[in-house]
Amino acid sequence: MKKYRQKNPTTYRKHPPAWRIVSGMHTIIQQVRAELLRNSDEAVRQSGLRFFKEEVQLYGVKSAQVERMARTFFKTLKAEGKQVIFSCCEELWRSGYLEESFIACHWAYALRSEYKPEDFPVFESWIGLYISNWASCDTFCNHTVGAFVERYPSFIET
């Protein structure tokens, strides 16, 4: 990772200034989207549409390939911290594309050891705002939400 100079030229920080993180967030999102487009296949897209009654947006990238992309890009993003990663997840969710939602799910789940009770409203908002099909629901709830309630079982209402 690059080291960014502080005001005192002899000291360095591990992480870039906040404005660079936001800029970097958009860069990583652009890279993810470019990679999804580059790997899209119309036959895969058409085949994927058969599994949904509701309307979904698909690039047409096989799920195993999306999973590999998610892992690869996460390595780049990991050092930025949970808040930046959650912001990236939000941006991916906002797109409405199934493959982007899978990457958001993977990144959120990859942070499971860092979950705090304060994260629950974030997850709850993603469910309310963005989850509109069974595939995103299964991926997000079985992994991210499942790991969260295992860690904080008091969040389960009985």
pLDDT tens-digit map of 26-69 = 789 999 999 999 999 999 999 999 999 989 999 999 999 999 99
pLDDT at 18 over 90: no
Mean pLDDT of 61-89: 95
Mean pLDDT of 63-91: 95
The pLDDT of residue 25 is 63
The pLDDT of residue 115 is 97
Q: What span, in angstroms and rounded, lies between the C-alpha atoms of 71 and 95?
A: 20
- Tokens of residue 20, six digits: 């660079």
The pLDDT of residue 24 is 57
Fold of 4-155: Leucine-rich Repeat Variant (1.25.10)
The identity of residue 155, as a single letter, is: F
Q: What span, in angstroms and rounded, lies between the C-alpha atoms of 23 and 20?
A: 5
pLDDT at 152 over 90: yes
Confidence grade of residue 157 (pLDDT, cut at 50, 70, 90): confident
Domain boundaries, the chain: 4-155
pLDDT tens-digit map of 116-151 = 999 999 999 999 999 999 999 999 999 999 999 999
pLDDT at 5 over 80: no
Q: What span, in angstroms and rounded, lies between the C-alpha atoms of 76 and 15?
A: 13
